[in-house]
Amino acid sequence: GQNIDQPTEMTATEGAIVQINCTYQTSGFNGLFWYQQHAGEAPTFLSYNVLDGLEEKGRFSSFLSRSKGYSYLLLKELQMKDSASYLCAVDNYGQNFVFGPGTRLSVLP
Amino acid sequence: GAGVSQSPRYKVAKRGQDVALRCDPISGHVSLFWYQQALGQGPEFLTYFQNEAQLDKSGLPSDRFFAERPEGSVSTLKIQRTQQEDSAVYLCASSLAGGPAYEQYFGPGTRLTVT
């Protein structure tokens, strides 16, 4: 079966660092994506991990451990505009694309 | 350049009506995906096209849902005899190469409300 878990909600303070975790159990695995989705808008691409390790891109980094079925998205120097939902999604061996439920992040002043 | 566009942006249908939702992908994008997103949830996969071929329709919830992409560009998602549980945002996404292992570019979605 397909199962992707993320925390439902998180709150952090402007300027802080936050880590959003994602665990997955899927019938196939060819890579993991992170998307950001502001309320009422379309998801936008943040990162893609296919190999174990950390991928850094500016204030955002994403980590993957294939053996543990685990990923996290790290957001540094939080800004108010980072308040959004963060979706992890597994590329299921080219068969389809499975999204997690999303983590709603609120950044407080 | 132009992104993925979807029309209409909002649709209200009476229960039992048929609806058709349109997606214009980014020009040259081979792959096209449809997703259904309920409020507060992540998108759920419905179906996937590579050019005009529908390679996966395992996510379509019932035989009332039908998707096509006859010329490998514009796609239409049709829902027959709409039910209240069909109320959701329908997202379309396209990607440059074949297969989901590439960044997907999403359209703004069509919010369907069935009354």
DSSP class per residue in A56-79: EETTEEEEEETTTTEEEEEE-S--
**Distance (Å) from the alpha carbon of B90 to chain A's nearest alpha carbon:** 10
> Which chain B residues contact residue A36 at CB under 8 A?
none
pLDDT of residue A77: 97
Instruction: Please write the tens of the pLDDT for every residue from A9-58.
Output: 999 999 999 999 999 998 788 899 999 999 989 999 999 999 999 999 89
Give the mean pLDDT of A71-85: 97
The confidence score (pLDDT) of residue B98 equals: 65
What is the rounded average pLDDT for all residues in chain A? 92
The answer, for B106 touching chain A at a CB cutoff of 8 Å, is yes
What pLDDT shows up at residue A44?
93
Nearest to B76 by CA among B85, B66, B86: B66
pLDDT, averaged across chain B: 93
CA A99, CA A89: separation in Å to the nearest integer? 4
CB B99 within 8 A of CB B31: yes
What are the pLDDT digits (tens) for B67-104?
A: 999 999 999 999 999 999 999 999 999 998 766 567 88
pLDDT given for residue A14 in this prediction: 97
Encode pLDDT of B31-69 as tens digits.
Answer: 999 999 998 899 999 999 999 999 989 899 999 999 999
For strands A60-65 and A70-75, give the pairing. antiparallel
Question: Quick check: helix, strand or coil at residue A51?
Answer: coil
Spell out which residues of chain A touch residue B35, defining contact as CB-CB under 8 Å. 99
In the prediction, which pLDDT does B77 show? 98
- pLDDT for B19: 98
What is the per-residue DSSP string for B60-94?
Answer: --STTEEEE-TTSS-EEEEESS--GGG-EEEEEEE
> Does B82 touch chain A if contact means CB atoms closer than 8 Å?
no
CB B85 within 8 A of CB B13: no
Of B41, B48, B100, the CB nearest to A101: B41
Rg (CA), chain B: 13
Nearest to B58 among A48, A94, A96 (CB): A96
First to last CA, chain A: 41
- pLDDT value of position B99: 60
State the pLDDT at residue B53.
Answer: 95
CA angle B32, B37, B38 (to 5 degrees): 165
- The percent of residues above 90 in pLDDT, for chain B, comes to 85
CB A18 within 8 A of CB A9: no
